[in-house]
Amino acid sequence: MSDIQNEMLQLGVYALVVRGQGQDLLMGKNVKDYVEISGLENLLHHFIADLDVAFTYIYDNDIASYLNALEEKFSIDLSSLQENMEQNIEGMLETDSDDIMIYYLVITKTLEHFRQHIFDINGWSWIERNLKQKKKTLTKKIKKELNSLDEEGNQDLSLLYNLIFTNYLAKIYKDKDILDKSQKLIEESIQNLIQNLE
């Protein structure tokens, strides 16, 4: 794997997705929830390398171009992030934060938004499909129940966040093994969730 300019990227991505290092353990939103997916870290390296390319704009303090580069690469809307990020960075510059703190903020904000956005689109539609198979619909009530399970730290929902994100990356980087494995794990998690609703 080629050297990346910014080692913070790997730290940031790992902090939100991987439990430990060199073990291919996908972490849930909660650190205590994890599942093994072989090849996970290799897949993430492709993602980190692409983030690294876009990150060149951050060194020039050009947040708009950074977000545009990511939007083009990943076909995801990040426009709502720009203002928030600019304000955060401005605040950090006023308090004389060093570059590393700023880079870390950009990385975590990007990733959190990324995961949430992908979950909002793919996660809910996946849950909806599974409910339909059981002749149910995704009502506001069910969504509310699932959100409260999330707040209670439900393990399946905790894992689902990063599973859906991983599945999305596997599609982009055409990693069939991880695509199949993550799909199977997503289905299992959703089945468990739906049982919790009954």
* CB contact set of 62 (below 8 Å; sequence gap of 6+): none
* 178 or 150, greater pLDDT: 178
Higher pLDDT, 3 or 70: 70
Per-residue pLDDT, averaged over 163-167, amounts to 97
- How far apart CA 167 and CA 169 sit, in angstroms, is 5
Structural domain spans, the chain: 7-197
Task: Specify the pLDDT at position 170.
Answer: 97
Predicted TM-score of the model (pTM): 0.90
Q: Which helix (H) or strand (E) segment is 179 a member of?
A: helix 176-197
Residue 9 is predicted with a pLDDT of 87
If phi > 0 it is left, if psi is from -120 to 50 it is alpha, else beta; for residue 46 that is: alpha
Q: For the segment 4-35, what is each residue's pLDDT rounded down to a tens digit?
A: 677 888 888 988 899 888 899 999 988 899 99
Write down the pLDDT at residue 1.
40
pLDDT digits (tens, 9 = 90+) for 112-164: 999 999 999 999 999 999 999 988 888 899 899 988 888 888 999 999 999 99
| pLDDT at residue 8, as a whole number | 82
Q: Over the stretch 39-93, which tens digit does the pLDDT of each residue have? A: 999 999 999 999 999 999 998 889 999 999 999 999 888 888 999 999 988 888 8
Angle, CA 138 vertex, CA 112 and CA 191 arms, to 5°: 75
Q: For residue 12, what pLDDT is reported?
A: 87
